[in-house]
Amino acid sequence: MTIKLHFHGAARTVTGSCYLIETPKARVLIDCGMFQGSRSMNELNSRAFPFKPDSIDALVLTHAHIDHTGVVAKLTKQGFKKKIHATAATTDLCAIMIPDSGHIQEMDVLQLNRRNARKGVALALPIYTLLDAMACLEQFQSENFEEWFTPADGIRMRYWNAGHLLGSGSIEVEVEQEGQKALRILFSGDIGPDNKMLETDPEGPTNWDYVICESTYGGKDRFERDEDKRRELLAIELNAAAARGGALLIPAFAVERTQEIVTDIVSLMESGKVPKATLFIDSPLANKATQVFRKHAAELQHGDELARALSSPYVKATETVEESKALNLFKGFYIVISASGMAEAGRIRHHLLNHLWQKSTTVLFVGYQGEGTLGSVLLGGAKHVRIMGQDVTVAATIRTIDDYSGHADGPELVQWIEHRLPIARNLFLTHGEEPRQHALAADASKLVPPERIIIPSLDEAYELSGSVAQLVEQGSGALLPRLNHALVAKPDWNNEYQSVLGDIHSALDSAADDKQRGVVLRKIRRALFSDEGPGLPPVNIQRRKPGRRGWDEG
């Protein structure tokens, strides 16, 4: 009896979570998430799935974040008609997050097509629409934590609290085998840290054949602080931003991260540790999510403190586009929390477009920034970026705090793995970039023999029926992998292109006068179009290497 596990996402990258369990009786997906990062990564979202959607017998979701659910509506639109299993809170969050994603895609494509029409380029279509997203919600079925359910013939599952997000779960899987004990597999989902404000610590059983573990912060010890120390660090950033006298922009995931940040900021204002200022939650999604959090308050730690903060007179919520645009008219110190957390979509990009060029602005990142995202580019020190097709000089102060991450750090991941022992066959490391995965593999080798730790690549498949996992497919069956491994979670040609544009900006800005600017442009033109080609003497400017971080595509 052949049992295969396919890695169709979150393989040597953090985003796009999607795993396929294949048996002679059933095909079950774990997650169906959106890729985020470079243009090459983002293009995977619009390409065909590496499997036939109508061949899938069930979809089971670990939690509601878009990198785990963002193409569910595409899956249903293209023929998947079976049940989507999730915890009750995940079901409620998906009911607002997936439609919001559909709306954002429609708006982004509308803006793109305006530019394409001017260029005479063919018009684009959204991956799915708001209506597609609303339709997929009809297929959701809520499941309880720690109670078995059967998504497909021969496979049973149950959820364990993962401590990452309201409703998030690790998934225990048992697959029937003829004449043998059931094969036991655990998908970690995203694992929360020990000191998360609203979530309890992760849970789960022991004694597995296979464990698939996330590795976002593998090898990294964040030296997490307690609540008082975390707020003390935030107070330092708030006071410094207030001293600069401009807007403080906080890109944050609308669901849970926003609510945590608001709770801490209001507490600091009420205690007099930071200046009192208006705090705008510029995210309709965050405002809707707040109602879900109220509904599930009994499942949260500090739920009463969250409710009080959200009712504070300092906190204002915007709903309409007009209200969001009006924030740009404010002067002095004020705070805007807006999605997305990696600055890849949503209203935060408009605020960055309008404020990055101002020295009085502060941008504070409070979560993980995937490679190739605008967030990672800004943290990498870029002086010029492109946002929605426009070039923007970065004069703002860019800051980051790790304490609000929803992911366990390296030591906590090792501790989580240790608590799942014994692992009889293999430990797969997913949902991480390669340096972090190799670091976690080294740390976990004290618990699991290193030869039994596997870091799968995108679209690889492993046979699980033997004594250890065996690689059986590099890509999806007869199909080639959807993305060259060299481009997974790494800057691509478009990042290099934006890097070159940044260098040109620097050369022109640093030129002494118009005559020298003309010299720069003529050298560039000759390098591009003359017979001499790129062998010309280089323009004499200080170049920034694109390296791991380039410039955002906009």
| Domain map (residue ranges) of the chain | 4-221+406-475, 227-400, 491-554
Partners of 27 in the beta sheet? 22
Q: What is the pLDDT of residues 456-499, one digit of tens each?
A: 999 999 999 999 999 998 754 434 456 655 555 555 555 566 66
pTM: 0.81
C-alpha–C-alpha distance, residues 120 and 442, integer Å: 52
Containing 169, the helix (H) or strand (E) segment is strand 169-177
DSSP state of 281: E
In CATH, the number for domain 4-221+406-475 is: 3.60.15.10
For residues 367 and 405, the answer to whether their CB atoms sit within 8 Å is: yes
Question: Is-cis flag, bond preceding 17, omega within 30?
Answer: no
**What is the Cα 442 distance to its own chain's centre?**
25
Which residue type, as a one-letter code, is found at position 506? Answer: S
For domain 227-400, the CATH architecture is 3-Layer(aba) Sandwich (3.40)
Given the DSSP bridges, would you call strands 384-387 and 58-60 parallel, antiparallel or unpaired? unpaired
Domains 4-221+406-475 and 227-400 share a fold: no
State the SS3 of 394-461: CCCEEEECCCCCCCCEHHHHHHHHHHHCCEEEEEEEECCCHHHHHHHHHHHCCCCCHHHEECCCCCEE
Q: Which residue bears the tokens 């929360």?
A: 192
pLDDT tens for the chain, residues 1 to 554: 799 999 999 999 999 999 999 999 999 999 999 998 777 788 889 999 999 999 999 999 999 999 999 999 999 999 999 999 999 999 999 999 999 999 989 988 998 888 888 888 888 899 999 999 999 999 999 999 999 999 999 999 999 999 999 999 999 999 999 889 999 999 999 999 987 888 889 999 999 999 999 999 999 998 767 888 899 999 999 999 999 999 999 999 889 999 999 999 999 999 999 999 999 999 889 889 988 988 888 888 888 888 888 889 999 999 898 999 999 899 999 999 998 888 887 899 999 999 999 999 999 999 888 777 899 999 999 999 989 878 899 999 999 998 888 899 999 999 999 999 999 999 999 999 999 999 999 999 999 999 999 999 999 999 999 999 999 987 544 344 566 555 555 555 555 666 676 677 667 777 778 888 888 888 887 777 765 444 444 444 444 343 333 322 22
C-alpha–C-alpha distance, residues 79 and 317, integer Å: 38
